[in-house]
Amino acid sequence: MAARGQALAIWRSRRWTVVAALSGVAILGLCLALAPRRSAAPDPAALQTQVLSPRPFAATLGLVGSVVPGDSIDIVAPFDGVVRRLGFEYGTSVTAGQVLVELDPAEIGQRRNEAEAAYLKASKASETLADWSSGTEVARARRAVDAAVLDLADVEHKTAETKGLLDRGLVPRGEYDGLVQQRRNQEMVLAGARQDLAAVVAQGTGADRRVAALELSNARAQLARLDGQAAGAIVRAPEAGVIVRPAGKGEAAEPLHAGQAVTRGQLIGSIARAGGLAVAFQLSETDANRVQPGMAVAVTGPGFGGWTVAGHVASVAGQAAAPATAGGPLASFPATARLDALTPEQARAIRIGMTANVTVDLYRNPAALVAPPAAIQGAAPAAWVKVRDPRGGPPRTVPVKLGRIAPDGVEIVSGVKAGDVLEWPAPAAGTAAPAS
């Protein structure tokens, strides 16, 4: 009986041990089931992929400007005067030979007459010096020398006669001494007459003649210049086109009107040749070195009637434009783009002064490998991408060299080839995709 009780106690003890072991195994299995599977492969549905294939790629820059005359001819006032009549209106078309401005020639006529008088005086002086050796001044000086020679000879003759009479005691000593003094005076007169003759003759040679020639040349040039200016009192259009008011500030930008005084060289307007339009725009400091002359542009505008006009960058200023106010924004650099020849329909729609949207073609590659921005990991020059293993293995990390960046992707210059499959994790739900 005692043996039976002992066996029953042993069985109860083992039963509780088995129950405890089974409970531990169940708890461990539950923990393993609820724990995250770190070694599990990523869900293919959570990855994005793209097969690289060559395609056209372009990097562009959008700017806003205005239509301006591209190939123009400046019209300037030929002389100082008053506008008598205008034959045009700014912004309208003019034909070759059309009268643009008629100036009052009264003032230029007076100046021209003064110049002619100065020319005549200089011409007369030059002619006199050209025939100076036989002129009246030289002849007068020579006559004075001849007279002095004759007077001296007469005094010497009288002196010689008086000396003979003095030796014989027929005349007083004082009379002889007076003639001797008169001879000395006459010799001085002759010497002075000869010096005067030499000086008069010298006036017709050397520097004096050169000065007269220069004065005549200057007077002739001044007269010819004023004749040319007076002939331009009626200003005509040299070519056909659209005449626009001069660009500038203050009086330079005011429209011309009859009765207004203008100065020589003042800009009256500019004639934009037919089909020769351009677009003026401003570049920031960061874009000034990116945009180069010769780059292609595409120009549109709200007033273009749906037309898109091609062209090219013509110039980029090497000096920043003066800011409108002191301490204003960053410097900007003026630039222009020349438009290609317009069709008649385009020429009727596009007008000078219209707003123009300019798209500059900074870079273009017809067969580039382009990856989405999200596929690029890291940053240049240590950027890399994940390339899928075609044999089913884990993706490879491949360093790449990046090229240009555009809103539609990033150009990959080297590191991958056409046909490679890029993969990258998809953005989590509710997370915005990375900006390009």
Same domain, 201 and 251: no
Residue 18 in this model has a pLDDT that exceeds 90: no
DSSP 362-430: EEEEEEEEEE-GGG-BS-TTS-EEEE--TTS-PPEEEE-EEEEEETTEEEEEES--TT-EEEEEPPPTT
Instruction: Provide the domain limits for residue 140.
Output: 112-226
Same domain, 203 and 352: no
Confidence of residue 7 (pLDDT cuts 50, 70, 90): very low
- pTM given for the model: 0.55
Among residues 246, 270, 294, the one where a domain terminates is 270
Q: Is residue 55 part of a domain?
A: no
Query: Helix 136-167 to helix 173-202 angle, to the nearest 10 degrees?
Result: 160
Confidence of residue 378 (pLDDT cuts 50, 70, 90): confident
pLDDT digits (tens, 9 = 90+) for 243-266: 888 765 444 456 778 888 888 888
Same domain, 288 and 400: yes
Same domain, 214 and 321: no
HSE toward the beta carbon, residue 247, CA cutoff 13 A: 8
Same domain, 266 and 333: no
CA dihedral 154, 159, 161, 165 (to 10 degrees): 160
pLDDT digits (tens, 9 = 90+) for 53-93: 999 988 888 999 998 888 788 888 888 888 888 888 887 88
Same domain, 133 and 257: no
Same domain, 172 and 254: no
Same domain, 294 and 401: yes
Q: Is residue 12 part of a domain?
A: no
Residue 200 in this model has a pLDDT that exceeds 50: yes
Between 261 and 326, the more confident residue is 261
The tally of domains found in the chain comes to 3
Q: CA 25, CA 174: separation in Å to the nearest integer?
A: 176
Confidence of residue 294 (pLDDT cuts 50, 70, 90): very high
- Whether cis (ω within 30° of 0) applies to the bond prior to 427 is no
Same domain, 291 and 335: yes
- Which residue type is seen at 68? V
pLDDT digits (tens, 9 = 90+) for 97-138: 899 898 888 888 888 899 989 999 988 888 777 777 777 887
Q: Is residue 304 part of a domain?
A: yes
Q: Is residue 309 part of a domain?
A: yes
DSSP 322-361: PPSSTT-SS-EEEEEEEEPPPPHHHHHH--TT-EEEEEEE
Q: Residue 257: its pLDDT value, please?
A: 80
Q: Is residue 16 part of a domain?
A: no
Q: Is residue 90 part of a domain?
A: yes
Same domain, 396 and 287: yes
Instruction: Pick the most confident of 196-205, 225-234, 240-249.
Output: 225-234
Report in angstroms the alpha-carbon separations of 421 from 48, 376, 385, 409.
10, 13, 10, 15
Same domain, 256 and 379: no
Q: Is residue 434 part of a domain?
A: no
Question: How confident is the prediction for the chain on average, in pLDDT?
Answer: 80
What is the DSSP-derived secondary structure letter of residue 308? Answer: -
- Assign residue 100 the CATH number of its domain: 2.40.50.100
Instruction: Pick the most confident of 146-160, 161-175, 203-217, 251-265.
Output: 146-160
Report in angstroms the alpha-carbon separations of 268 from 56, 80, 265, 314.
49, 13, 9, 25
Beta-bridge mates of residue 321: none
pLDDT more than 70, % of the chain = 83
Q: Is residue 6 part of a domain?
A: no
Residues 371-383, mean pLDDT to the nearest whole number: 87
Quote the distance between the C-alpha of residue 369 and its chain's center. Answer: 38
Same domain, 141 and 208: yes
Identify the H or E element spanning 88. none
Beta-bridge mates of residue 73: 271
